[in-house]
Amino acid sequence: MAPWIQLLLTILCALAVGYLLDRIHLPGGMMIGAVIGSCLLGVLTGQANMPGPAKTIAQIIAGAYIGSGITRDDVRQMKTVVKPALILIPCLLVINIIAGLLVYHVSELDMMTALMCCVPGGISDIPMIAADLGADPSVVVTMQFIRLVLGIGCFPLMIRAVTGKDDAGRNEVVKTKKKKDIQVKYVVLTFSVAAVCGLIGKVSPMPSGTMGFATLGSIAFACAFPGKAQMPRLMRKGAQLLSGAYVGASIGAAQLKMLTTLGFPVVILISGYTLGCFAIGFLLFRAGCFSRREGMLAATPAGASDMALISADLGVSNVKLIVLQVLRLIVVVLVFPSILSFVVHLFA
């Protein structure tokens, strides 16, 4: 079968399952569905094929999407969360490294894969970065999905039960950003800026340079030209589709067998972030940064956009909480990969 037909079939299978799971609102549905669809095609027919450039394009789009959502006001607000960020981010890094090393020792995973499984990032972003670093993206996407479901589905209930009638927080109202009128010329311009920066990052020695540079370039563009940085949600879904199809097409019998051995790694991941939620939340509360409930929410392993919904459901509307999660996302994408690569070299 011609390569272009294999590519088309892979994308169609990934889209079919991804669209279905996205429509039923499964967390990370498009990404997970794309992995399943392309994996099924590969395992059943051996015809799944996704070229390397698909991963690069997906990383550039993801970086552009993250960066275009940052405004000057967000950047100004970040200075107000320096103190909690200096507590939260190093603690998350320590949890990431300890949990990753434990996973490495109790499983058959290589060290980089084990460490990337425990990164507190996004399910759309981390598997792509993992592939860049030589980790097994199929295992990473599975563990990231578990972390995401844990952060969205279980932690809010636990936090509500633990904090009880604890005051919801300072209730600094979160300002909702006005929906932009998407214009094609600005979307093209934003993607072009991200693409140029991403390609520079790709040839740089920085781990995850493609997405990191694309994100930085998009943030700079968004701040320099307010309102001009635009990336429609549909393109974010497209990046998830490409990334998921790339991961799924790389899964064979050996990878599927590996996924069945993730019992202990899952227990370590859940235990690590549960203990971290309590410990970091307590530290943030004692430091006077947040209320108990806000502190635990800040340490919840979910994404920035998810946190806005979760905190609102729990009666918390502190803008600093959301800005802190945005800062965490940027640091995880830009800094964590380099640190984890150093850890691997240190213990190798």
Kindly list the averaged pLDDT for each block of 10 residues, start to end, along the chain of length 348.
88 95 84 90 89 86 86 83 93 95 94 94 81 90 84 77 64 52 90 95 85 90 92 87 87 80 92 93 92 87 60 66 81 90 90
Gap between the Cα atoms of 282 and 74, Å rounded: 26
What's the pLDDT score for residue 304? Answer: 56
- Which of 246, 189, 203, 230 shows the shortest CA–CA distance to 57? 246
* Domains, the chain: 3-347 (1.20.1530)
Gap between the Cα atoms of 207 and 199, Å rounded: 13
- Which of 44, 60, 49, 58 shows the shortest CA–CA distance to 11? 49
Gap between the Cα atoms of 29 and 312, Å rounded: 22
Gap between the Cα atoms of 129 and 338, Å rounded: 11
pTM of the predicted model as reported, rounded to 2 decimal places: 0.78
- Taking CA atoms, 275 is separated from 95, 154, 164, in Å, by 9, 14, 18
Q: Is 167 helix (H, G, I), strand (E, B) or coil?
A: coil
What's the pLDDT score for residue 169? Answer: 53
Cβ(48)–Cβ(38) below 8 Å = yes
> Under 8 Å CB-to-CB from 159, ≥6 apart: which residues?
277, 293, 296, 297, 300, 314
